[in-house]
Amino acid sequence: MSYTYEYPRPALTVDCVVFGLDEEDLKVLLIKRGVEPFQGRWALPGGFVRMEESLEDAARRELQEEAGIRPNLMEQLYTFGAPERDPRGRVVSVAYFALVKLTDHRVQAATDAREAAWFSVYDVPKLAFDHADILATAHQRLKGKVRYQPIGFELLPPKFTLTQLQRMYEKILERELDKRNFRKKLLAMDLLEELDEVEQDVSHRAARLYRFDHKKYKQLEKAGFNFEL
């Protein structure tokens, strides 16, 4: 015999922090809410988890529905459960963070999102709910993790220059890196494949292009290799 216990239950949502990178800055994807609460306010993509869904499936569905985004790299970030975080009632949110290549993802608002757009992580509008705290937590996770896992390559095009690679790390870590030491350390890992190609359509001297060797990294990782900057 099954029993149903009569007591108040919290609702469950997912919220997604999606980072991208362009020539100017590290970006985060935001949607403008089309419904209450916080109608017209910018927020992270997300929504309620359906009964038949896993948490990650719910996060991916919300990203697709609200912004047309399908990230390759997504992982669970943290659970946010302050009793007053949502004016609709007792709502617990499991947050995810994801990385995408901006050139591969043209955002398009849908469902209950009025707009979807990329903002600089360092210049975001006032966010709904506790999404400013969620974004800050995700940013700190990214800044820490990018130094010991090669996740930053998810933000770059498949073929990139060493200057683009260094700028990516500088934008995430919020500090300048010594060019000589940075390149020496990265090249010594032997994970960058030098291509017989250079930049195209640039006004300056065209730089050599490289590609990250994901297959080799996986092999080295199994053998105990530690990626660390």
Distance CA 13, CA 42 (A): 17
**Is the confidence at residue 4, as pLDDT, over 70?**
no
Q: Give me the mean pLDDT over the 43-60 stretch.
A: 97
Question: Annotated catalytic sites, by residue?
Answer: 115
pLDDT of residue 107: 72
pLDDT given at position 24: 84
- What pLDDT is stored for residue 62 in this prediction? 95
Q: How confident is the model at residue 128 (pLDDT cuts 50, 70, 90)?
A: very high
Q: Decide: residue 177, CB within 10 A, 0-12 exposed, 13-18 middle, 19+ buried.
A: middle
* Residue 29 confidence (pLDDT): 96
% of the chain with per-residue pLDDT over 70: 94
Structure tokens at 90: 């007792």
Average pLDDT score over residue span 141-170: 96
Asked if 53 and 132 touch (Cβ cutoff 8 Å), the reply is no
Averaged over 194-202, what is the pLDDT? Answer: 87
pTM: 0.92
160-189: pLDDT as tens digits: 999 999 999 999 999 999 999 999 999 999
Residues in the chain: 229
What are 70-125's pLDDT values in tens digits?
998 999 999 999 999 999 999 999 999 999 998 876 776 666 667 999 999 999 99
At position 34, the amino acid (one-letter code) is G
Q: What is the reported pLDDT for 111? A: 63
Query: Is the backbone of residue 38 left (phi > 0), alpha (psi -120 to 50) or beta?
Result: left
Do 133 and 52 meet the contact criterion of CB atoms below 8 Å apart? Answer: no
